Amino acid sequence: MAKLHFFYSTMNAGKSTALLQTHHNFEENNLKSLLFLPNTDSNNDLNINKIKSRIGIEKDAILVNAEFNFYKYVKKIQTTDLKCILVDESQFLKSDQINQLSRIADDFN
């Protein structure tokens, strides 16, 4: 059964580092995962599509705007080997995008 997790904490608590470590662990076990990053005022002018930790770890991510539909994206790529979706800075997502992520967990397990 799929699960939807939300991790939160203060700034500088290591959330992005933990997210990148989780992604690395999936990759090391040949399990497909996707990284997403909301397009915010702090990264849209520079078109930054990297999740970066303060300790220097970084990884390319799919940059999403307020109109991005996670459900349609996952359905379109039609992959059965997708095991994890990781979203950094999820507080910038719209409520319907959170619902899309929930539907992905429910419908695609």
Alpha carbon 6 to chain centroid, angstroms: 11
Please give the C-alpha separations between residue 86 and each of 18, 21, 45, 62, in angstroms, as whole numbers: 11, 11, 23, 10
Name every residue whose Cβ is closer than 8 Å to that of residue 9 and which is 6 or more positions away in sequence: 15
Residues labelled as active-site residues: 89
